[in-house]
C-alpha cells in the first residue's frame, strides 16, 4: 500500500476516516473566515435561517479589507452591520480597517500546517503557503461552516510540483504561479490539489509561497499547498513566537502526475490581457505604454515585494501613476522601518496599507477607459480593475516597479 499525500493526510485527520480522490466527505474545519464584502451575505444567510450563532467563536476570523476604509455610504453601512454581529457574538478575532487584508491576516496570525481553512473569498488558497488545506466557498457554505464547524467537499486528486534550485534574478512566487498557468492553462487543475515541494526551502521564502498559493484558485485548483519544511517553521516562529508541528506527505506518496520547475532557468513573466493564462516572457510585451502601476494586494503586498520595488525605484522618479499597498499593518510597519516606504514615497508613489482597493476595481485607483495597467494582483479579466475598456498586465514586483520608473512595460534586468 502506497503512502499518503499531504492532501490525504489532512483530510483524513479532519474527517476521521480514510479518504480517496473523488470521494465526497464531511470534514471538520479549523478556521472559518470572511471579510466585509462577503461577510454581509454570510450573516444574512444566518439571519434568514434563524441561526445567528457560531460553532466556536475562537475559530472565526473576520477582517475588513475590500471596502476598507469605507469608500461610500453603503460600505459604511455594511461595516456597522458586521461590527454589530461581532459585538453580539463576542467574536475575538475581528480585524477592523486598521489591520490588513484577510488572507494576509490568516497567514500572519492563524493558519497552521495541516489545518482545514475555509473562507468566503476565492483567494483563501493563500493559506496553503504554510501547508494548510484552504478553500474559498460561497456565503451559504461559509454560514453553514460557521454554524456547524463542518463542510462537505470532494476529495481532490493530488498533483506534485517540485521547485529545484534557487530563483534567477528578480524571480519570485508570482513567476512560479504564472509559469504553472502558462504551462497548464487555467482549467487543468480543476478537481486537483497541488502539493509543492521546495528542494532548497530557504531559497523560496514564505512571501513567495503565499503569492503562488494565492493564485492556486486562478489555476482552478481545489487547493495549492506547500509541503511544510524548515522555512515554514522559521516563518511561524518569527511571526508568532513558536514552532509549529509539521504534517508532511509520506516519501512513497502516490500522485496523479508530477512536474518540476527549475527556478534558476526562469525569466520574469507577465500575464497579458485578458486572461491569467495568457502568459508571456516580459520582453515579448516590453515597451507598451503604461498609465498605472499597482504594487500590492493579497497576492503581492508583502515585505519582499516592497524590498524589490524599493531596490529598483531608489533614486528614481516614477513616470506614471504608481499605487503601493502593503497587505497589512505589520507589512507596512516593516516596510516603513526598512526605509522602503520612504523610497517609494520619494519616487512619487501613492501609499496606504491594508486595503484590496484597486485589485477588484473597488477604490483607491480604478482604471478608466483605454488605460493600461501593470498590476501585481491576481486577475486581469475585462473590467477587473475598472473600465472594461482598460487592459491589465499581471506581473511580479520587479516588472511592476521597473515599468513605473520607465512608464512602459520593462524587463527589470535591463535597468537594475
- DSSP conformation letters of 160-223: EEEEES-PPTT--HHHHHHHHHHHH-TTTTBTEEEEEEESSGGGS-HHHHHHHHHTTGGGTBSE
Query: What's 385's DSSP letter?
Result: T
Write out the three cell numbers for 82.
Answer: 458586521
pLDDT in tens, 127-152: 999 999 999 999 999 999 999 999 99
Specify whether 236 is located in the same domain as 295. no
Please list, residue by residue across 336-350, b when 16 or more beta carbons sit within 10 angstroms of its beta carbon and e when fewer do: eeeebbebbeebbbe
Report the number of distinct structural domains present in the chain. 2
Residue length of the chain: 416
Residue 320's pLDDT band (boundaries 50, 70, 90)? very high
Query: What's 361's DSSP letter?
Result: T
Residue 178's pLDDT band (boundaries 50, 70, 90)? very high
Whichever domain contains 315, its CATH number is 3.30.499.10
Cβ neighbours of residue 288 under 8 Å, at least 6 residues apart? 372, 393, 408, 409
Specify whether 105 is located in the same domain as 147. yes
Calculate what percentage of the chain has a pLDDT beyond 90. 97
Calculate what percentage of the chain has a pLDDT beyond 70. 100
Specify whether 248 is located in the same domain as 339. no
263, 285, 311 — which closes off a domain? Answer: 263
pLDDT at 291: 98
Specify whether 200 is located in the same domain as 75. yes
Specify whether 13 is located in the same domain as 96. yes
Specify whether 96 is located in the same domain as 207. yes
214, 240, 263 — which closes off a domain? Answer: 263
Residue 416's pLDDT band (boundaries 50, 70, 90)? confident
Specify whether 217 is located in the same domain as 315. no
Q: Tell me the CA distances in angstroms from 332 to 82, 141, 320, one per residue in order.
A: 25, 33, 22
Average pLDDT over residues 298-310: 97
pLDDT at 322: 98
Residue 144 lies in a domain: yes
229, 248, 263 — which closes off a domain? Answer: 263
Residue 1 lies in a domain: no
Residue 1's pLDDT band (boundaries 50, 70, 90)? low
Residue 118 lies in a domain: yes
In 3-state terms, what secondary structure has residue 114? coil
Specify whether 200 is located in the same domain as 237. yes
In 3-state terms, what secondary structure has residue 342? helix
Specify whether 177 is located in the same domain as 306. no
Write out the three cell numbers for 3.
Answer: 503512502
Residue 90 lies in a domain: yes
Specify whether 255 is located in the same domain as 276. no
Distance CA(104)–CA(34), nearest Å, equals 13
Residue 324, CA atoms < 13 Å, CB-side half-sphere: 32
* DSSP per position, 11-60: HHHHHTS---TT-EEEEE-SEEEEEHHHHHHHHHHHHHHT----S-GGGE
The pTM is what?
Answer: 0.96
pLDDT in tens, 68-108: 999 999 999 999 999 999 999 999 999 999 999 999 999 99
Closest C-alpha among 409, 174, 414 to residue 292: 409
Distance CA(115)–CA(117), nearest Å, equals 6
Q: Is 152 exposed, middle or buried (0-12, 13-18, 19+ CB in 10 A)?
A: exposed
Instruction: Report the first-to-last Cα separation within the chain, whole angstroms.
Output: 52
Distance CA(282)–CA(164), nearest Å, equals 22
Q: φ, ψ for residue 131 (rounded to 5)?
A: 90, 25
Residue 355 lies in a domain: yes
Average pLDDT over residues 261-274: 97
Closest C-alpha among 151, 129, 149, 130 to residue 59: 149
Specify whether 227 is located in the same domain as 373. no
Is the pLDDT at 65 greater than 80, yes or no?
yes
Average pLDDT over residues 178-189: 96
pLDDT at 2: 76
Segments forming the whole domain that contains residue 323: 269-415
Residue 213, CA atoms < 13 Å, CB-side half-sphere: 32
Specify whether 227 is located in the same domain as 176. yes
The owner of cell 516614477 is: 318
State the Cα torsion 242-247-251-255 to the nearest 10°. Answer: -130
How confident is the prediction for the chain on average, in pLDDT?
A: 96
Amino acid at each position: 500500500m502506497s503512502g499518503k499525500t499531504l492532501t490525504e493526510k489532512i483530510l483524513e485527520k479532519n474527517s476521521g476516516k480514510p479518504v480517496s480522490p473523488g470521494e465526497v466527505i464531511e470534514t471538520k474545519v479549523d478556521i472559518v473566515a470572511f471579510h466585509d464584502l462577503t461577510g454581509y451575505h454570510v450573516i444574512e444567510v444566518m439571519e434568514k435561517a434563524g441561526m445567528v450563532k457560531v460553532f466556536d467563536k475562537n475559530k472565526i476570523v473576520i477582517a475588513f479589507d475590500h471596502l476598507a476604509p469605507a469608500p461610500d455610504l453603503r460600505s459604511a453601512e455594511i461595516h456597522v452591520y458586521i461590527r454589530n454581529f461581532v459585538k453580539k457574538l463576542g467574536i475575538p478575532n475581528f480585524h477592523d480597517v486598521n489591520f490588513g487584508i484577510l488572507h494576509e491576516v490568516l497567514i500572519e496570525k492563524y493558519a497552521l500546517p495541516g489545518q482545514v481553512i475555509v473562507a468566503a473569498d476565492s483567494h483563501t488558497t493563500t493559506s496553503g503557503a504554510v501547508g494548510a488545506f484552504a478553500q474559498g466557498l460561497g456565503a451559504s457554505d461559509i454560514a453553514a461552516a460557521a454554524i456547524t464547524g463542518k463542510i462537505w467537499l470532494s476529495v481532490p486528486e493530488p498533483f506534485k510540483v517540485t521547485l529545484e534550485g534557487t530563483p534567477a534574478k528578480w524571480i519570485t512566487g508570482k513567476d512560479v504561479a504564472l509559469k504553472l498557468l502558462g504551462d497548464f492553462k487555467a482549467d487543468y487543475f480543476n478537481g486537483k490539489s497541488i502539493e509543492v515541494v521546495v528542494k532548497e526551502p530557504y531559497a523560496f521564502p514564505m512571501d513567495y509561497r503565499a503569492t503562488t498559493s494565492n493564485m492556486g484558485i486562478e489555476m482552478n485548483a481545489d487547493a495549492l499547498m506547500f509541503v511544510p519544511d524548515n522555512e515554514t517553521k522559521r516563518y511561524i516562529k518569527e511571526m508568532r513566537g513558536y514552532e509549529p508541528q509539521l504534517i508532511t506527505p509520506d516519501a512513497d506518496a502516490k500522485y496523479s502526475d508530477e512536474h518540476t520547475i527549475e527556478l534558476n532557468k526562469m525569466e520574469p513573466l507577465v500575464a497579458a490581457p485578458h486572461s491569467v493564462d495568457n502568459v508571456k516572457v516580459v520582453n515579448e510585451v516590453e515597451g507598451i505604454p503604461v498609465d498605472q502601476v499597482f504594487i500590492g494586494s493579497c497576492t503581492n503586498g508583502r515585505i519582499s515585494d516592497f524590498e524589490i520595488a524599493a531596490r529598483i525605484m531608489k533614486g528614481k522618479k516614477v513616470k506614471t501613476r504608481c499605487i503601493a499597498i502593503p497587505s497589512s499593518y505589520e507589512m507596512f510597519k516593516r516596510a516603513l522601518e526598512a526605509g522602503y516606504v520612504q523610497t517609494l514615497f520619494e519616487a512619487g508613489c501613492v501609499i496606504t496599507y491594508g486595503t484590496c482597493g484597486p485589485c477588484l476595481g473597488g477604490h483607491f485607483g480604478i482604471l478608466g477607459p483605454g488605460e493600461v495597467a501593470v498590476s501585481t494582483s491576481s486577475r486581469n479579466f475585462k473590467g477587473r480593475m475598472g473600465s472594461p475598456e482598460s487592459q491589465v498586465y499581471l506581473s511580479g514586483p520587479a516588472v511592476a516597479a521597473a515599468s513605473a520608473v520607465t512608464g512602459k512595460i520593462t524587463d527589470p534586468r535591463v535597468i537594475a
